[in-house]
A and B are shown apart, each in its own frame.
Chain A
Amino acid sequence: MNEPDSNNARNRAFAEQFARCQNRVYAFVVALAPRWSDADEIFQRTTVVLWEKWDQFDPARSFIAWACGIARLEALKYFSQRDTHCVTLSNEVMEQIASDYSQQEETLDARTTALEQCLQKLPDGQRSLLESCYLGRGKIADIAAALDTTSNALYLKLRRIRTALHECIDGVLHREGLL
């Protein structure tokens, strides 16, 4: 294979893997850095490093495991570069979570699929509230003001909705024998 062929195959192979796994990698990053501004930055850095190191990827390995390993290192680097002491998870727990992600990949995918069903079951009002808070990523205070409620009350409502979704997902997986 000549160089352009090789480059194109490289580009395409990366695009294939990345398109398939980006949501899972992003979810892993969010587990390490729940604040979306942190998560976006770490995910962006991870994407760049994945691309740069694509030549070193061993196709026999799981792409998601490889990507999560890089994301963990990028998260550590990101937090260590910040000027203030930023409390988040320790390196040891990050490693444990990375291991959980790698081992529970199928279960987490099943949870994603089950979420679709559970979202459909949500009352319109709750679904609309989720959309307002997640879709636009507006400030909770602004959304609360628009809804004539308080930030604390809105946080509580969101927690209840997420708990309901979590339980619904558990139920779906239980019925399917996955839990």
Chain B
Amino acid sequence: MTRATFGAQPENQELVRWVAECVDGTASEETWRRLDALLKTDAAARHYYVAHLHLHATLMRKLPAPEIALPDVDRALAPDRDSSPGEPAKPRSRWVVLRDQVHAGVRQLARPTPIAVFVAAASLLLLLVAFAAIPVSFEAVDRPRPTSPPDRQTFVAELVETSRPQWSGKRSYIAGDRLHVGQILELRTGMAAIRFDRGAQVVLEGPAKLRVTSNNAAHLAHGRLTANVPPRAVGYAVSVKQMTITDLGTQFGVVAGQGATQVHVFRGRVAVGPADGSAAEPHILLAGAAAEFNDRGQPAGDYVAADDTFRHADALTGADEVRVRGNLRYLISPPQSLAAGGPLENNHVAHLLLERSDVTLTDDIPAQIVAADSGDEARLRPGRIASGTRVCSYLIHFDIEPVEGGKIIQRTGLIEFSRPILAVIFNDDQLAATDATLGVEGAVYDTETESRTSRGFEPGEFDKLSISADRRTLRITCGLGSASTDQVRVILPTEKP
């Protein structure tokens, strides 16, 4: 029996080991069963478990404590002092003025007129066409990596993708660069996607200047950004002048310039207030709303419905549901050619890109169906995805340059999806058969070139693919020994009902 002190180190070293394995994610089924049996009957063991997991969770949310520049949400959201305990806090007059406009914005979004729908759809189509025409810059892959900053700097974010960037300021950046606290990115033209280590993803659109201030915050000196914030990064903050825009679980956009600052909310809600937290309450913006604010975070203009000012919000949709690790990069915008020797050719990283976000299949398609299994990994079995199924498709693409001496280049990466994988397609014929349905619209694949090369993925000694038992995590190793490509199409059910 362990000591009955809350959280204290137990004498039962098996318990210590089991808990450590749970935290590490290495606990076996047997360990879980034995731990569960112990926790059921031993309160002290359970208290130790709770305290240790609490430590683990706090570290996940807290580090690095000194640099987290979370806005003073508690203070900003504090109830009015003149409210009685137990009563709802009284909204201030400014809040009252704003509220109807917020709801008007929501209502407008909820009931778009046919003309608005047409205009929005047409705009989106034009923007997608324009965006697809922008070749993604990968010249940086071949450049020598910049010298690492001094060791004492704390790296808190990563530049994950760029599109035709022209940098101004002291230096330029390439995809994969780690960014430290205080680092300034000054983009003259083009786009850059930054992933903060707490999970927030930001797309910066030039001309813009952004300073990284923590693993969950940034300062936008000027320009336009779109932020996509997953639950674990709730509280992500963008400061502009003397105001702070605080995420409350959302996707939002900011336009900062010489005049008023615009805040647009696409999903969820944000709080806007002075950076010093001096406001008794923030201004809450709900999905579909937009507003202008002065330098101190006070409203400076009428609300307008959020529009397509932030055309790149859609580009973040894919990043919202996938996370890549290792030698993989997520591409915001697919290039026009996904054939061998295309713009993605390099010997360093493979790429993941969203091909189609929502397709209703009109015919059965052949695929390797991902089936749950009682082991650690899901099973793949040949089958068909039925006609009428709504799916989205991603492509893993690895395309190497010619290598001398028959050297094999292998790259390994991990992809975590927010939903279970339905199927994968990796043999030549099945890829070719599904390019038209599931491939990037307008893009060239090797099936359409005369010098068709093998593009499929052949699981074996050099190519490896495994999918976790919960079907959400895909681990892939691509091995290539000549100028060729490996491609795997990953099919997920469409998220929308």
Contacts and interface: CB of A to CB of B under 8 A. Distances in A.
A130 B56 CA distance: 11
18 contacts: A9-B88, A11-B284, A12-B284, A26-B57, A27-B57, A29-B57, A30-B53, A37-B416, A44-B230, A112-B54, A119-B63, A139-B326, A140-B24, A155-B26, A162-B20, A166-B7, A179-B5, A179-B6
Interface string B219-232: 00000000000111
Contact of B374 (A37, A84, A163): A84
- The range of chain B's interface size is 35 or more
B89 interface: yes
B95 interface: yes
A15 B73 CA distance: 9
Contact-residue size bin, chain A (C-beta under 8 Å from the other chain): 35 or more
Nearest to B100: A4
Nearest to A99: B46
A89 interface: yes
A160 B38 CA distance: 23
Interface of B: 5-9, 16, 20, 22-26, 29, 32-33, 35-36, 39-40, 46-47, 49-65, 73-74, 77-79, 86, 88-89, 91, 95-96, 99-100, 102-103, 154-156, 197-198, 215, 230-232, 234-235, 248-249, 269, 271, 281, 284, 286, 325-326, 372-374, 378, 414, 416, 418, 420, 469-473
A12 B40 contact: no
A165 B7 CA distance: 12
A59 to B, nearest CB: 7
Interface string A138-179: 111010000000000001001100110111011001000001
Contact of A9 (B36, B52, B91, B378): B91
Contacts of A20: 74, 77
A63 interface: no
A36 B36 contact: no
Nearest to A44: B231
A11 B269 contact: yes
Interface of A: 4-5, 7-9, 11-13, 15-16, 18-20, 22-23, 26-27, 29-31, 34-37, 39-41, 43-44, 47, 59, 82-90, 92-93, 96-97, 100-101, 104, 107-108, 111-112, 115-116, 119, 127, 130-131, 134-140, 142, 155, 158-159, 162-163, 165-167, 169-170, 173, 179
Nearest to B286: A11
Contacts of A26: 57, 60-61, 232
B228 to A, nearest CB: 13
Given A23-B58, A119-B65, A167-B9, A43 B414 contact: no
A131 B53 contact: no
Contacts of A4: 99-100, 103
Contacts of B7: 107, 111, 166, 169-170, 173, 179
Q: Which 7 A-B pairs have the closest CB atoms?
A: A83-B372, A30-B57, A27-B57, A31-B53, A87-B32, A87-B29, A44-B231
